[in-house]
């Protein structure tokens, strides 16, 4: 079995703002486009337009209908992006019988060395987040790499040295940085917004964090009553939409 390195002070990862994500799938599509020619290439697609498509996606976006707490209130749709969380206690690494799955000591990124992978799928069974992808064409496991071929590419401008999903998000819901540095922008966002781990009770200590949705304004609250009335019907409609 594979051992984990000593905890590193540098922990590169993502922070995802669930209050901003609109479920457009731009992150998933750009991730697919970049990585199909990158470190873990190709990201296989088999029968993509047929009855039983099969393929490798490092980012997947789930949509959930949220039931309102009070009867009569409108329901909402919540979007939840999911990819590898690059856990500090990564069970996908420790169950690997060949050492193909490993965690980098220098930045905490979890990767797969395809030449060692035998496609046994133990890592996918060990991952409770469903972040491992089996490439049935190549017979190996693949996963998010945080786009290491972008973030360390010195030929790119500094602002472009971010994962493809971060670079393409039109809503600005995804952030990348060092979560091991309490003074970094991503760490400050987590501290300010109460960012949280996914399923912390498992003890895997994921590096990636999620920022919770902000509470929606209650139209009967004191704050709402203090706002000046909107006389224009169009402005009233826009205000209702944006206040959901």
Name the strand (E) or helix (H) holding 65.
Answer: strand 60-66
- For the chain, domains (ranges, CATH) are 12-213 (3.30.70.20), 217-244 (no CATH)
Instruction: List the pLDDT tens digit at each of the 244 positions of the chain.
Output: 688 998 889 999 999 999 999 999 999 999 999 999 888 889 999 988 998 888 999 999 999 998 887 787 777 888 999 999 999 999 999 999 999 999 999 999 999 999 999 999 999 999 999 999 999 999 999 999 999 999 999 999 999 999 999 999 999 999 999 999 999 999 999 999 999 999 999 999 999 999 998 876 655 555 444 445 545 554 555 555 555 5
Is 230 strand, coil or helix? coil
134 CB-near residues (< 8 Å, 6+ apart): 56, 119, 121, 124, 140, 141, 142
Cβ atoms of residues 100 and 143 within 8 Å: no
Whole-structure pTM value: 0.84
């Amino acid at each position: 079995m594979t051992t984990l390195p000593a905890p590193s002070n540098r922990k590169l990862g993502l922070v995802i703002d669930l209050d901003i994500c609109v479920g457009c799938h731009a992150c998933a599509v750009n991730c697919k486009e970049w990585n199909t020619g990158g470190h873990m290439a190709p990201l296989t697609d088999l029968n993509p337009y047929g009855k039983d498509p099969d393929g490798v996606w490092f980012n997947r976006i789930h949509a959930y209908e949220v039931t309102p707490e009070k009867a009569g209130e409108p329901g909402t749709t919540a979007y939840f992006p999911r990819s590898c969380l690059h856990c500090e206690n990564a069970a996908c690494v420790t169950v690997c019988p060949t050492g193909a799955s490993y965690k980098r000591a220098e930045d905490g990124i979890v990767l797969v060395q395809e030449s060692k992978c035998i496609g046994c799928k133990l890592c996918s069974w060990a991952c409770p987040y469903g972040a491992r992808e089996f490439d049935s064409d190549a017979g190996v496991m693949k996963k998010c790499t945080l786009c290491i071929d972008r973030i360390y590419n010195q030929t790119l401008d500094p602002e472009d040295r971010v994962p493809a999903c971060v670079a393409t998000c039109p809503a600005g819901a995804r952030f990348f940085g060092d979560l091991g540095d309490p003074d970094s922008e991503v760490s400050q966002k987590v501290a300010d917004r109460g960012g949280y781990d996914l399923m912390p009770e498992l003890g895997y200590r994921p590096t990636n964090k999620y920022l919770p949705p902000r509470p929606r304004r209650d139209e009967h609250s004191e704050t709402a009553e203090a706002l000046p009335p909107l006389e224009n019907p169009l402005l009233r409609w826009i205000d209702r939409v944006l206040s959901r």
